[in-house]
Structure 1
């Protein structure tokens, strides 16, 4: 994981190279020990990382890649490298022996131009300057663990791994907090994934690229076709053209869609094919020195364990890490974790969980977050990262993405209803235990209705009707005006309809695409990635693999969703590789462990105390000054949490996290905007 920074436009010529490097080193929270800067007319590039990240199996040397007229900085781990290298060599582009990610990116650009994002596979965020064409290409991979942000100024466009260098950039006023961005963080309303807590600072969403031509010339798209054209039947909003001295476009280059060759695969061959793809996804991400695996007793992380042992060569060294919960706690999956570990003769390092804090006290950790709300389970995930370091490894895997890729909801009944498959719908409905008119309306009829019809009902009734998957009630302590909230809702609905409703025909396809493209998911991944990097390890997620996604989306829904069980194809792929105990349906309300007991216990201990500490300070709440919340109402909801069924606990935590972030960030800028602080 690296910090990268780019500045392009006429204003870049006034930036001293050493100062540009210091800006990145001191403010990106992405390392300080190794730094390189590139300067040319109209452009500055910089990359920073710590020594441990220069390992060839992680990021390689902290250098700006220079390849003829091309200069690139990257925060990247590229996978299926042999496949990419051989493809480039066949086209006459040699990235050299054992190339670092930057060299592979530059070589791919020489052959494919901006369309390189269609052939490069990995976790990446990069900025690439083409001196011959006079253009900047910045891109972020489809699943978004590595973030990118940008800020447009007169005569200058800035792009960085985190928003902090963009905010601290000298020669221009510090941008104020953006009330809507803060409100979105508190209420968990992600919108289109671009809004941040700073006015004028925007996030480049996952699966998007930014292309700029800062020094004049033809339009930003000189290629014969738009890069990353979405597959047939998928897509997103039209490109956003940003006028001004540095014109640039932001465009989606990746959308969820199937690989058509897998549609014809016989059903009997699907489990073994999936097992092979999973093994490839896991092995290509493994570090030569071994990896840690954060493993629960669920389907996903245990499948990653089996897949690490499913390659053609010897398996990598694996250290299993798992949370220890008290007996009877809903998170206790010790029986399943031990069964999976014993299958491969591996010990488990147990991490005592219940005393791990929800809230952080270190002000640097707090303000280093790119988003005010951070991650609700930061304490647990930092403990995982520290345990990995104690085991002597620098790369950690988890099972994130398994639900997004392999879980298919019962909303398939809505498609059966729309297609007039009444008998099949009746059988499906009853086999899954649904009964009554209410269940039919909720799980069959309502998802089948066009959102526009629900919008009409909303206007007639004069009250809110939830009509899209992302919609949820706003927290009652929200202070924003009704007009502001309505404008946010309408903008989010327009984005949703352009991204999911129009490109995808069936309810099931829309729902699965939403699970892979909604901005909340990459933001969670990026928050995890950042906090683990701060502890000295790099997070990799084998389930978030484009080849797996394309295969999964090509298969029929009955291979995933059957009466009493989900992720059926994944279970069958693991038969013989994991004990049947893990693969067969489980009794009880929770089919897999949950952190509910931990979260509620820590919430009851910490949240009221954290509120009192914030209120005891003389200054008013920053959220109140911004006009987004009422602190008195926060106190009221904290006191009534249990009697209200704990409905607002997640938003209460995000509110407290955001208020702390606002205060610590404001203190940083007031005290030392030009240094580490």
Structure 2
């Protein structure tokens, strides 16, 4: 709930008021309810505080524990407070007014460097242990909050945001070519696989699930935990037992994320993930006398949906069904007339402190947060990572596994039921499953997500001098030559740190701007660990994909949403349609890019020209997911960022 900042001088010398002041002044761009600092000799800590939870109102941050002689700067909302109170022996009379920073201090004083393993929630903190002369900090398991740092001779400076660190003496905004090369080379939405680097050469970041410590003048980073699948899956007696266990853990996760003295909102689509979140949130809020504020993005009113029948750019029918079934919601469907991806570029580069890739959805994500802020929302619930946790269950990949394992009887029964649900015959399903099960034996290439003809944005020279493609080999980032497998993708989502790092970066930056915390129960570690422990056959069962969540939400979601296997929502399909009035200006700017010598060192200008020629002067809306159209937009965003550094 804070933008935190600090400086530690290794030699024990005092931190100057000027340097501490520079950090705090740079944070003034963010709205705040309070702004305080703490100094002691070689340490400066600062917090620009946004009050979100009831306990945070009036909380004194940075927090100092007199008995333990520990000072804490924390950007945190903890979800397992009751568990921690019990483990730490906190008297009941203190619990209601105890802030999360104080709870973090108590956890550190009991468990030391093992404390982050005990904390569940969204957090980044740094503390100073005066007795041990130790600076210690940590970032939560999913990286939901950011923590950047800068090292120079004899000093460590850190901050929730990157730009204040660039205001310190000696800092330069030089580009980190290695990070930028990853950003340009990776064709999917992921920014980079380097979880310690940033786009700025002099600024690093603490990865998710890591702690840092500075002791005796030496900085140490260490991973303290991981989200790995258990060796042995969870074994329960009946399907109903799995469903009840799912409801128990998901209910706990959702309820723990409703803690705010302000309103609670939710970003709602027509699918299972966000639908389940609002379904489990509406009841507890009703009991608390609150109404859930729900927001949905809708395509432009004049947009003609060009997507295939199995996809839906406009999810309104499903959304209305969920709202009506769940109840206790004040619903707003927002089409953001007059807004488009092109018009938001400069503002988003400044907000995110770097280039970005989610341009198709950028304007409406911002718009929903702006509306939530205006409505007095403190917490905005999402289901952003549900595809690989609560709504896991890729039928075709699972059936390919059955085929490889020669489990013919089960495969036959499943395909018969699955075909009925999706209205596709087994004669059409079997060849597709065979290609997934034995891609090389079948002699096919269409299993690959990208081909050698996929346009590349990165300049060949930059790729060569940074060795980016060698570094990316083995990472699930959509490059050619990598067979796509949903099971491997899931393992990379949670076993690796890159996607968590990417997600947490945008969540933190948006919350700082708007004072609204996005909280995702589908990314709660308790939920993820439970979902990773459930046997695969619970996720694809009786011809039903994503079967566990469909069964477990029988009374929480309407059947037309819960049992829908034929239509899936797709967001951002109208981004090119919205940009058509601005397209001439967009093209003119790309032509300037192609003549800029600075861009030529980083961007594949020849490919930009070729993609521009291919898309043409009048882009069709159905080019929204065309790789050339997407390359053009990403090129312009990268170029705008590079120009901002001049």
Give the structure 1 partner of residue 387 of structure 2. 403
Q: CA 1:649 to 1:203, structure 2 compared with 1: closer, same or farther past 3 Å?
A: farther
Q: Is the 8 A contact 1:360 1:366 kept in 2?
A: no
Work out the CA distance in 1 between the residues paired with 2:129 and 2:402: 51
Q: CA 1:374 to 1:11, structure 2 compared with 1: closer, same or farther past 3 Å?
A: farther
Within the candidate set 476, 499, 503, 2:456 is matched to 476
Work out the CA distance in 2 between the residues paired with 1:174 and 1:118: 35
Q: CA 1:425 to 1:26, structure 2 compared with 1: closer, same or farther past 3 Å?
A: same
Aligned-residue offset at 1:380: 0.3
Aligned length: 604
Unaligned runs of 5+ in 1: 217-244, 450-463, 498-506, 668-677
Work out the CA distance in 1 between the residues paired with 2:213 and 2:393: 35
Give the structure 1 partner of residue 62 of structure 2. 64
Aligned-residue offset at 1:555: 0.9
Work out the CA distance in 1 between the residues paired with 2:33 and 2:450: 41
Q: How does 1:126-525 map to 2 (within 5 A)?
A: 126-170=125-169, 172-188=170-186, 190-213=192-215, 216=216, 245-258=217-230, 262-264=234-236, 266-286=238-258, 287-311=260-284, 314-315=287-288, 316-325=290-299, 326=301, 329=305, 330-343=312-325, 344-353=327-336, 355-360=338-343, 363=346, 365-373=348-356, 375-376=358-359, 377-405=361-389, 406-409=391-394, 410-413=396-399, 415-416=401-402, 419=405, 421=407, 424=410, 435=428, 439-440=432-433, 442-446=435-439, 475-481=455-461, 484=464, 487-493=467-473, 510-516=488-494, 517-525=496-504
Aligned-residue offset at 1:580: 1.1
TM-score calculated relative to the size of structure 2: 0.82
Within the candidate set 596, 609, 620, 1:620 is matched to 596
Work out the CA distance in 2 between the residues paired with 1:424 and 1:400: 32
Q: SS of the residue aligned with 2:136?
A: strand
Q: SS of the residue aligned with 1:278?
A: helix
Q: Is the 8 A contact 1:48 1:62 kept in 2?
A: no
Aligned-residue offset at 1:251: 2.3
Work out the CA distance in 1 between the residues paired with 2:402 and 2:532: 18
Q: CA 1:332 to 1:197, structure 2 compared with 1: closer, same or farther past 3 Å?
A: same
Aligned-residue offset at 1:115: 1.0
Q: CA 1:583 to 1:259, structure 2 compared with 1: closer, same or farther past 3 Å?
A: farther
Work out the CA distance in 2 between the residues paired with 1:175 and 1:116: 35
Q: SS of the residue aligned with 2:568?
A: coil
**Larger displacement relative to structure 2 (177-186 or 111-120):** 177-186
Work out the CA distance in 1 between the residues paired with 2:121 and 2:555: 29
Q: Is the 8 A contact 2:291 2:330 kept in 1?
A: no
Work out the CA distance in 2 between the residues paired with 1:465 and 1:111: 55
Q: Is the 8 A contact 2:593 2:639 kept in 1?
A: no
Q: CA 1:401 to 1:494, structure 2 compared with 1: closer, same or farther past 3 Å?
A: closer
Work out the CA distance in 2 between the residues paired with 1:426 and 1:28: 63
Within the candidate set 578, 598, 608, 2:574 is matched to 598
Give the structure 2 partner of residue 452 of structure 1. none
Give the structure 1 partner of residue 585 of structure 2. 609
TM-score calculated relative to the size of structure 1: 0.79
Q: Is the 8 A contact 2:22 2:167 kept in 1?
A: no
Q: CA 1:477 to 1:297, structure 2 compared with 1: closer, same or farther past 3 Å?
A: closer
Q: CA 1:485 to 1:364, structure 2 compared with 1: closer, same or farther past 3 Å?
A: same
Within the candidate set 513, 525, 531, 1:552 is matched to 531
Q: SS of the residue aligned with 2:256?
A: helix
Q: Is the 8 A contact 1:60 1:100 kept in 2?
A: no
Give the structure 1 partner of residue 482 of structure 2. none
Work out the CA distance in 2 between the residues paired with 1:365 and 1:522: 18
Q: CA 1:165 to 1:524, structure 2 compared with 1: closer, same or farther past 3 Å?
A: same
**Larger displacement relative to structure 2 (254-263 or 98-107):** 254-263
Q: SS of the residue aligned with 1:143?
A: coil
Give the structure 2 partner of residue 34 of structure 1. 34
Within the candidate set 617, 629, 640, 2:603 is matched to 629
Q: Is the 8 A contact 2:315 2:569 kept in 1?
A: yes
User: Which digits, 9 at most, give the CA deviation of each residue in 1:155-181, with x for residues without a partner?
Assistant: 2222221221222221x2415111222
Aligned-residue offset at 1:16: 1.0
Q: Is the 8 A contact 1:28 1:164 kept in 2?
A: no
Q: SS of the residue aligned with 2:46?
A: strand
Aligned-residue offset at 1:558: 1.9
Work out the CA distance in 1 between the residues paired with 2:412 and 2:249: 35
Q: Is the 8 A contact 1:382 1:535 kept in 2?
A: no
Work out the CA distance in 2 between the residues paired with 1:369 and 1:94: 41
Aligned-residue offset at 1:102: 0.7
Q: CA 1:633 to 1:349, structure 2 compared with 1: closer, same or farther past 3 Å?
A: same
Aligned-residue offset at 1:399: 1.7
Work out the CA distance in 2 between the residues paired with 1:31 and 1:257: 40
Q: Is the 8 A contact 1:397 1:539 kept in 2?
A: yes
Work out the CA distance in 1 between the residues paired with 2:6 and 2:475: 28
Q: Is the 8 A contact 2:193 2:472 kept in 1?
A: yes
Q: Is the 8 A contact 1:17 1:39 kept in 2?
A: no
User: Which digits, 9 at most, give the CA deviation of each residue in 1:444-489, with x for residues without a partner?
Assistant: 235999xxxxxxxxxxxxxx9999x999987434213386378323
Q: Is the 8 A contact 1:280 1:311 kept in 2?
A: no
Q: SS of the residue aligned with 1:7?
A: strand
**Larger displacement relative to structure 2 (433-442 or 285-294):** 433-442
User: Which digits, 9 at most, give the CA deviation of each residue in 1:211-249, with x for residues without a partner?
Assistant: 221xx2xxxxxxxxxxxxxxxxxxxxxxxxxxxx53322
Q: Is the 8 A contact 1:28 1:165 kept in 2?
A: no
Work out the CA distance in 1 between the residues paired with 2:524 and 2:610: 44
Q: CA 1:199 to 1:264, structure 2 compared with 1: closer, same or farther past 3 Å?
A: same
Q: Determine whether 1:658 maps to 2:642.
A: no
